[in-house]
Amino acid sequence: MNLLSLGLAGVGAIALWTLPRTFAALPLLLAAVYTTTGVAIEIGPANFSVLRLLVAVGVLRVLVRGESMAGGVGTTDRLMLAWAAWLVGSAVFHEPGTWIYRAGIVWSDLGCYVLLRVFVRDAQELLRLFGAACAALLPVSLLMLVETHTGENAFSVLGGVNPMAAMRDGQLRASGPFAHPILAGTVGAACVPMAIALWRQRRGLALLGFFDAAAMLYASHSSGPVLMAGFIVLALCFWPLRWHMREVRLALVAAGIALQGVMNDPFYFVLARVDIAGGSRGWHRAQLIRSALEHLDEWWLVGTDYTRHWMASGIYANRQHTDITNHVLAMGVMGGLLLMLLFVAVLASAFRDVGRVVHANGGAPDTVPGQAPDTAAGDGDNGARAAAPLPPDRLAWLLGATLFGHLLNFMSVSVFDQSVFFVYLTLAGIAALVLHQGQAAAEEDTLPGHWHSRGMVRS
């Protein structure tokens, strides 16, 4: 770790330790945006990037101050703990030293999730973090635009990233501080729903978010993140059908069966036909799924240490494996079907929580009856009168749409750098929203004449 990265780690650690809880997530966000995971302090076989160092400081802060997760421990939280336990525990069936690498994954992923659950407790705090993300990503998006035109990565001064932009089919692909252009584009796609969430109250920040998203998606020249952004918007368009999602899911299953009936290859080979940015490797991703199914007997129980024979192409970073460009399948390779199913269960639990909030607030007005609207002049961005915040059901739906986008993006990339922060921000936001909503409902039930958030009737 060079002096610049070490200085950023020191400043971030001080900020994380001293800031009040409502702002304590900001140093983690800035570490995910402005530092690289390729530069780390090495202690024996363990590597500690800036983000991992801040997670350590955050965990120590939580223990010393006795801070806890909003609403207590929920189902998604328990599933995350089970996933982390089996990820490390299944290492005993793999090569010696594997547990160190997996412990690092748990430290980054579970650490970010838990700290976000502690620091982000309600919708207001989540939206504040969204606004900070849109502002913080502006320099990154601008530098990525420069990178895609000059071929020089300005973040190489931090170390840990390639100083030159990647090249594919004659196109320069910017990655900024991230480990791969697809991961940079993924963060850009995650900016789209954050900007939408801010549109009512912080229009200036929302416009910044839209610019960040467009710039990062363009500079990364990756089809997967573009599709992720498109599917997020598509999922938001399903809001009028929120009471009929069971029928929608059945229709999707029927569409898959219909594709299977008319295609020569398995239906998931539709991935091979998608190429938005040019030079897409959709066929590789589809063939990877087929190869994994063909070699199911090798990895279903506890995973496998060798997949090189699955595909005709390998990966530079590890001669024992092919390029596992599928996050869900990567779980199976590391820990078998159990780890994969635990990860899927985490996502399913989050989607169920979204449904709970939507159904508990269905038809809710933007403001509670009897509550005076906010008439403060100016929203801090454009001088307009402050609008009502995004209602809980709409915010939950937006988070669900974001998670849906991440899920589909998992079919094209295995997330392995600091961009995981934005995945777990979505999961933690959903968990905080549903548990906070449950607490609010319990408090309302004790008040006479309250506005019943579940039944939407005046008692």
pLDDT in tens, the chain (459 residues): 788 889 999 999 999 999 999 999 999 999 999 999 888 888 888 889 999 999 999 999 999 999 999 888 999 999 999 999 999 999 999 999 899 999 999 999 999 999 999 999 999 999 999 999 999 999 999 999 999 999 999 999 988 899 999 988 788 999 999 999 999 999 999 999 999 999 999 999 999 999 999 999 999 999 899 999 999 999 999 999 999 999 999 999 999 899 888 888 888 888 887 777 666 678 889 999 999 999 999 999 999 999 999 998 778 778 899 999 999 999 999 999 999 999 999 999 999 999 999 988 765 544 433 344 444 444 444 444 456 678 889 999 999 999 999 999 999 899 989 999 999 999 999 998 887 776 655 455 544 443 333 333 332
Q: Does some domain include residue 139?
A: yes
Q: What is the dihedral of CA 270, 273, 276, 278, to 10 degrees?
A: 140
In 131-179, at which residue ranges do the beta strands (DSSP E only) sit? 166-168, 171-173
CA-CA distance, 138 to 213, in Å (whole number)?
Answer: 9
CA-CA distance, 233 to 186, in Å (whole number)?
Answer: 14
Q: Does some domain include residue 141?
A: yes
Give how many domains the chain has, as a whole number.
1
Range of the domain at 100: 3-250+321-361+387-443
Q: Does some domain include residue 9?
A: yes
| Coil/strand/helix, residue 74 | coil
Q: Does some domain include residue 381?
A: no
Q: Does some domain include residue 300?
A: no
Spacing of C-alpha 62 from chain mean position:
23
Helix (H) or strand (E) holding 439: helix 420-444
Q: Does some domain include residue 276?
A: no
Q: Does some domain include residue 92?
A: yes
Q: Does some domain include residue 55?
A: yes
CA-CA distance, 268 to 290, in Å (whole number)?
Answer: 9
Query: pTM score, two decimals?
Result: 0.90
